Structure 1
Amino acid sequence: MKTSIRRVTSSLLTMGMLLGTVSSVAQTASNVGSSFELHSQSEDLQASRQALPYAQRALQQDKVWSFKDLGARFPFNLRGVDSSDSVFFNVRADEVASGGAVTLHYSYSPSLLDDYSHINVLVNDEVVYTIPVTEQGAGRPLTQEVSIPARLLAAHNQLRVQLIGHYTLECEDPLHSSLWANVSNQSTLSLDLQKVALVNDLSILPVPFFDPRDPNRLDVPFVFLGEPTSGTYEASGIVASWLGALADYRGARFTALKNRLPEKGHGIVFTSPEQVGSFIPEVRTTSLPSISMVSNPNDSKGKLLVISGGNAEQLRSAAQALVLGGSILTGPQAEIYEPPQIQARRPYDAPRWLSTERPVQFGELITPERLAVSGYDSPIIRMGLRLPPDLFTWRQSPVDVHLKYRYTVQPGAVNSSLILGVDNQYLKSLPLLGLTQLEGRDASLAAMAPGEMLPMQEHVRVPLYQLLNRSELTYRYMYDYIKEGFCKDALLDNVRGQIDPDSTIDISGRNHYLEMPDLAAFSEMGFPFTRIADLSETAVVLASSPDEQELSTFLVTMGRMGESTGLPATGVRVVDAKASLDLDKDLLIISPASKLPANWQQYLPEYTAQHNRQFGTSDLVYRTSNWVSPNPADRIRDQQSEVAYRSDGRSGLITGFESPFNSGRSVVVLTGTDSEALVDIGDALLKARAGERIEGSAVVIRGDKVRSLLAEKTYAVGSLDIWTRIQWTLYQWWQYAGQWRTLWIPGLLGVIAVGFILSQLLGRRRKQGKT
């Protein structure tokens, strides 16, 4: 039957293909400009690479990314006669790509006509391979490897997979359910990369130590030469938080090295002028704080960023100059004549946190280009939010979102909608009315033609507790495809949608109050330390002479702080565990249990002397849902049992409590049986958003396993207005009294009865006395 249909209508298909060819030629012509732009952006860089002799290049192992690594959260679900989806990838500034390959895992509809359907693989809008569609492979999982020639690879690249599908040669519904192909987001892209040596010039910073083109987790060694002091650690924490802020969603890991340079690749060195000469003689000795870029003596393609200072203040000045003014430094070395003048930060003013002082426009949170979509199968608009974790949620009004949006008005009556959600959960649906449905509502709509964009606005209220700590607002345009009838359907995919950048979200005027300890706020947002974005009210406590693992955990934690706020921790202080900790600061203690001062052991729910362990546990460990209640009282899980045992196993502990020195100040302790356990804690913090939650008041970490044991609330930070404070206090009293109410009622009745009897007896005695 298929063969007869093809013969009868081959002329019609030929005409259609000719029209499609003309359209394709026009599309190719329009893409010439964008393709030229992609190549021209890296023209100078590529020219400098080609000028290097081959001896200066080092062949590197292939790098492999899955489509999920490159940003594809879900598989490519291609629908219709012409549908495509993309991922984007880049090539680092210190690498050049000599080729690549794509391994596609895919399947397609059994109804596709094999002679007229196919799947294209395109790189920067050029077809590199066409995958045929056959009856034998239909409906089955398939794999296809496609080579990418080096000539198509630039600094910034787009990999696109396109379905051209047909299920009949007669009148065809362009959005028929049989027109589909699915490409797994576990498909992979691999690149053959060669390392190149960059110039020793500070003007290229933060490259190569952080390259925004690299989607991988940042991994940079931090080298400490000589005998580090607290000032050395402070300088390293400032730089680690800076790189963590730059790495953002990628995450940042830092490996500490003492008195040894990395064997290969790049690294950041902290040293004094006296020590630097014996390790890196290329650095010019100076009495001023300095920042230098030199080649790694162990790897000619690697670079070392050397931060040098004669004392603690000089090292801090050099680190602060790097993170605040690194973009204006030039040459192989810069000397800092005066310490940077840093303005004091205000609470909750972190650049990545939603402002609590005014309505925030969407354009401040996301680029306008990402707020616009087109097509019937348009992608979801996603806008990430970071709110202060201490916003009080109990009986608070929802967050007001003033949404301004535009959409293409369709002819007739349609059932189109704009779907609003929070973290992929449905929130609200707004109708996108057609032209017929709009008639009579507004005189100005009478002159509107089909296809024009209609501006609309809506006030949307979002429950506050759904937005803490990190969340994502989603907007999806769902356009109704209008069927005209048999042989009349023509897909004119000209529908568009746009969220206006001047839409606002307002969380101003709300109470900051959080019952503590709350390790979820710490692991996800760095709270309470990040309340002041530069960590100027934070003191990090390290053991005397911390080893490499302890320092690595410290650096990873500082990177997490920078990732949360988007700002380097220029105000952080590091103190020795043996020094006086009577400081008006929040304390972050990072040390193995064996190095903790004995007076701190009383605050910990785990004791590790002679391998003895003792844990308090609650039913938090049995909780099946990660749902967060709007009532803070529902998040409390008091200790209900205690377990003591002896074990030689490795385990890490994160716990929090109120500072014994200052009421309202917080202490968070990262400790463990040994230094390796601290490395596990650092890994857990890096995976806090992807795996098991770190929450409550005490968390045990064994390898990659995270167990939250307690959620006791023993103190609070912040304040409430008077009326809210009265209500919250009464509510807490009533909840506490609830377990006794069944005894109070008969007890109260008993007291009344005894009082009545006593009053009767006293009354009789008075009468008898008078007589």
Structure 2
Amino acid sequence: MADSPGDGKVHIPFSALGAYRTLSLRGLEDIRTVNVGVRRDRLVKAARLHLVYSYSPALLFSMSHLKVSVNDQVVATLRFTAEAAGRTVTQDIDIDPRLMTDYSALQLKLIAHYSMDHCEDPGNTGLWADVSSSSEIVLDEAPIALPNELALLPAPFFDEHDVNPLRLTFVLPLNASDATLRTAAVIASSFGSLADYRQARFSVAPDLPKDQNAVLVAPLDELPPAVRPVGVSGPALVISDNPVAPGRKLLIVTGANAQDVDSAAYALVLRQPGLSGPMANVGRRDPEPERKPYDAPRLTPVDRPVRFAEVVKRPEQLQSLGGTPETISLELHVPVDLTSWNDVGAPLDVHYRYTSPSVKNNSALSIEMNRQLIKSYRLTPNGEAGGANSPGARSSTAELEVPAYQLVGSNQLDFRFNLDSERSTVCAGAAGNPARASIEPDSTIDFSRFVHYASMPNLAYFANSGFPFTRMADLSQTVVVVPARPAPYELETMLTMLGRIGRWTGYPALRVEVARPSESARLADKDVLLIGGSPAAPLVRTWSGSIPLAVDARSADVKRVGFAKADAPQAGSGALRLNSDAALAAVYGFQSPVASGRSVVALVASDATRARQLLDAFDDPERVGLIRDDVALVQGDVVESARIGERYAVGQIPWRDRVLGLASRHPVLLGVLGVFAGLLLAVGAFNFLQRLAQRRQGF
């Protein structure tokens, strides 16, 4: 996240603003919008749009152009010329900085013509322009001194208008207690939830940073004397200036004891209303009720049909405009342990509306899951036989099923409308109002027929969704084990991973526990996130019979553990032996030796550089996909995974589903059992009737 105290230019590409692909404009008129934000602690002195685009050589250039607006104010009209048609054009456009608010809408509107004819065909293939995602907005910014005001939280520590990754420093006491580390983990998970797609990385320092904002977490008597607040009585939140970094702020979470610090953190992460001024004594509060499995705010409910209105942030996301409208997309995040035991799918009940064509043409709706076609529907005129429309209406219903094999943890459900031109004679296609299409908010998708069952260990589940820890949104069934004397980079690993988990759940880890390697009794019936190198090695050696890694201790002073891999391991080949002389960055998983069905995920780094490489791999969309199986080695930019240890299962499959699944996979056996059951019934019925006849005859 932008954190420079001085003036500077910020380059924001369209790809960072959600325009990951080329913006395609089609037809006589079409518009695309890109939203850009400005941090609250920054003032825009100058703004410029660096636009990279191309357009059709078939246009009538005297009448065709691209209109650029910011917040509905026209800033430029770009004329098309024959000389540049069909080629990539680059143009810089100055923008009045007064138009750049904290949240601004940049609009690109195509006005296209290919003929002087007043009844042009809006579906003509020559009517197009493309804007590259490499286009960017350049802002010349200056800092603004914000007041020390709790009402502005989470700004300036996190600003929703900043699309850059969140970078935040935690200042923790040397030899911080388990309680202090737990509180820091809760706060990190909350900031990770706020950062969401931006991703978050947390650093840890014992002293105040000289160039950044920072969060201080400690009881009052453990805070640095220079920033120790006066007038604290019980749990308190304080915002103050950073005395060693002009223009930077400190967020101090403190209290008389560890319980007070925890209460202050709860007030922060749960957004306690009424916080204002530079300091607030928030008072102690009762713990939040324990969450239920799979109820994380960012997970799509899987125990009932879910209305699309519950999934989208704004109703406009379910609407589209134009002959080739933008795809309507829904993000559906489901637990990764969902399993279709009997190959059942997810019922999808879609209600949609569209501008009905007056004649039958190629207008269609394609429904896709993760870019795989589920089904396509022709959009027919109102009342036409065979159409799904009711006469006089422009609405339709589609009932279908999403195949189980198309579903993963993070899914994208796409609705692609193609509203074909109706031009059949010279003026039949005269443009009136643009064609419109929408998906009704009461459309539903239902995942309730799936069961929760997964074969473990599977690091892909952890790397891409935080499973199994995210099963409980508040991490009530998770213990984080850190070394007895953790190095700063090990605490950074812990906080960053808690931030990632917060991103996936959308909820702070209010009930997570932090323990040391010697506290093995606290690990019973818990999933364990194991952080660190040599200080945690005794616990690793205690569990050496269960984990897919073996550690050689070559001296009494245990060194950082590292991999020494002679040959690539094969599945089921046993443990991978490590020696303590090599540099190490690894993540591995195994079943908890102290709780059957519970999981342990360990993140091991031999030094700060290797820890940074490990976290970089989790942040990289390409490399994170290589973290799988039960062991993943990270060496620079290379990630190698292997399956070595034994498998185990988590979750349950109802006995009825097991029986039905067995029957569906073995139809011959089902037939034999059916015949056998029929014979038993026949014999039983025969004996019953025979005894009944004997009684009637007096025997």
Instruction: Give the TM-score, by structure 2 length.
Output: 0.87
Alignment of 1:284-363 (within 5 A): 284=230, 286-363=232-309
**After the TM superposition, which of the residue ranges 712-721 and 607-616 deviates more from structure 2?**
607-616
Name the counterpart of 2:542. 599
Q: Within the alignment, does 1:670 sit opposite 2:603 as a pair?
A: yes
Q: Within the alignment, does 1:526 sit opposite 2:466 as a pair?
A: yes
SS at match of 1:304: strand
Alignment of 1:27-106 (within 5 A): 59-106=6-53
Aligned-pair Cα RMSD in Å: 2.8
Distance 1:185 1:346, change over 3 A: same
Q: Within the alignment, does 1:658 sit opposite 2:591 as a pair?
A: yes
Shift of 1:302: 1.8
Q: Give the one of 324, 328, 351 matched to 1:381.
A: 328
Name the counterpart of 2:96. 149
Name the counterpart of 1:572. 512
Distance 1:607 1:142, change over 3 A: farther
Contact 1:83/1:162 (<8 A) preserved: yes
SS at match of 1:72: coil
Distance 1:389 1:436, change over 3 A: closer
Residues in 1 aligned to 2:152 and 2:108: alpha-carbon distance in whole angstroms: 34
Name the counterpart of 1:252. 200
Shift of 1:339: 3.3
Q: 1:491 corresponds to which letter in structure 2?
A: A
SS at match of 1:596: helix
Shift of 1:306: 0.2
**After the TM superposition, which of the residue ranges 339-348 and 687-696 deviates more from structure 2?**
687-696
Residues in 1 aligned to 2:387 and 2:593: alpha-carbon distance in whole angstroms: 69
Q: 1:294 corresponds to which letter in structure 2?
A: S
Residues in 1 aligned to 2:437 and 2:184: alpha-carbon distance in whole angstroms: 46
Residues in 2 aligned to 1:100 and 1:335: alpha-carbon distance in whole angstroms: 42
Shift of 1:731: 11
Distance 1:170 1:612, change over 3 A: closer
Shift of 1:90: 1.1
Q: 1:308 corresponds to which letter in structure 2?
A: T
Distance 1:167 1:729, change over 3 A: closer
Distance 1:728 1:313, change over 3 A: farther
Residues in 2 aligned to 1:147 and 1:649: alpha-carbon distance in whole angstroms: 54
Q: Within the alignment, does 1:590 sit opposite 2:531 as a pair?
A: yes
Distance 1:272 1:721, change over 3 A: same
Residues in 2 aligned to 1:368 and 1:690: alpha-carbon distance in whole angstroms: 35
Distance 1:337 1:166, change over 3 A: closer
**Deviation digits for residues 395-437 of structure 1 (CA, Å, limit 9, x no counterpart):** 3310111212222222122332111001122111122211362
**After the TM superposition, which of the residue ranges 647-656 and 69-78 deviates more from structure 2?**
647-656
Shift of 1:219: 1.4
Q: Within the alignment, does 1:553 sit opposite 2:493 as a pair?
A: yes
Distance 1:376 1:272, change over 3 A: same
SS at match of 1:299: coil
Compare the two structures and name the one with the higher helix fraction.
1
Q: Within the alignment, does 1:454 sit opposite 2:394 as a pair?
A: yes
SS at match of 1:678: helix
Q: 2:172 corresponds to which letter in structure 1?
A: F
Distance 1:643 1:200, change over 3 A: closer
Residues in 2 aligned to 1:233 and 1:81: alpha-carbon distance in whole angstroms: 60
- Greater Cα radius of gyration, structure 1 or 2: 1
SS at match of 2:138: strand
SS at match of 1:68: helix
Name the counterpart of 2:684. none
Q: Within the alignment, does 1:365 sit opposite 2:311 as a pair?
A: yes
SS at match of 1:414: coil
**After the TM superposition, which of the residue ranges 121-130 and 190-199 deviates more from structure 2?**
121-130
Name the counterpart of 1:542. 482
Q: Give the one of 172, 177, 188 matched to 2:125.
A: 177
Q: Within the alignment, does 1:218 sit opposite 2:172 as a pair?
A: no
Name the counterpart of 1:467. 407
Shift of 1:109: 2.1
Distance 1:436 1:213, change over 3 A: same
Contact 2:549/2:578 (<8 A) preserved: no
SS at match of 2:49: strand
Residues in 1 aligned to 2:573 and 2:5: alpha-carbon distance in whole angstroms: 60
Instruction: Give the TM-score, by structure 1 length.
Output: 0.79
Distance 1:690 1:101, change over 3 A: farther
Residues in 1 aligned to 2:601 and 2:622: alpha-carbon distance in whole angstroms: 19
Q: Within the alignment, does 1:486 sit opposite 2:426 as a pair?
A: yes
Name the counterpart of 2:678. none
Name the counterpart of 1:402. 349
Q: 1:708 corresponds to which letter in structure 2?
A: S
Contact 2:380/2:387 (<8 A) preserved: no
Contact 2:575/2:644 (<8 A) preserved: no
Runs of at least 5 residues in structure 2 that lack an aligned partner in the other structure: 555-561, 667-699
Name the counterpart of 1:742. none
Contact 1:320/1:340 (<8 A) preserved: no
Residues in 2 aligned to 1:318 and 1:570: alpha-carbon distance in whole angstroms: 12
SS at match of 2:497: helix
**After the TM superposition, which of the residue ranges 648-657 and 89-98 deviates more from structure 2?**
648-657
Name the counterpart of 2:65. 118
**Deviation digits for residues 454-496 of structure 1 (CA, Å, limit 9, x no counterpart):** 2322222012342221111111111121113235532224322
Distance 1:575 1:140, change over 3 A: same
Q: Within the alignment, does 1:700 sit opposite 2:633 as a pair?
A: yes
Contact 1:617/1:710 (<8 A) preserved: no
Contact 1:412/1:436 (<8 A) preserved: no
Distance 1:326 1:615, change over 3 A: farther
Q: Give the one of 564, 585, 600 matched to 1:613.
A: 564
Q: Within the alignment, does 1:140 sit opposite 2:84 as a pair?
A: no
**Deviation digits for residues 314-346 of structure 1 (CA, Å, limit 9, x no counterpart):** 322221221124343222212243233311111
Q: 1:210 corresponds to which letter in structure 2?
A: F
Distance 1:379 1:388, change over 3 A: same
Residues in 1 aligned to 2:58 and 2:387: alpha-carbon distance in whole angstroms: 45
SS at match of 2:408: coil
Name the counterpart of 1:262. 209
SS at match of 1:159: strand
**After the TM superposition, which of the residue ranges 189-198 and 311-320 deviates more from structure 2?**
311-320
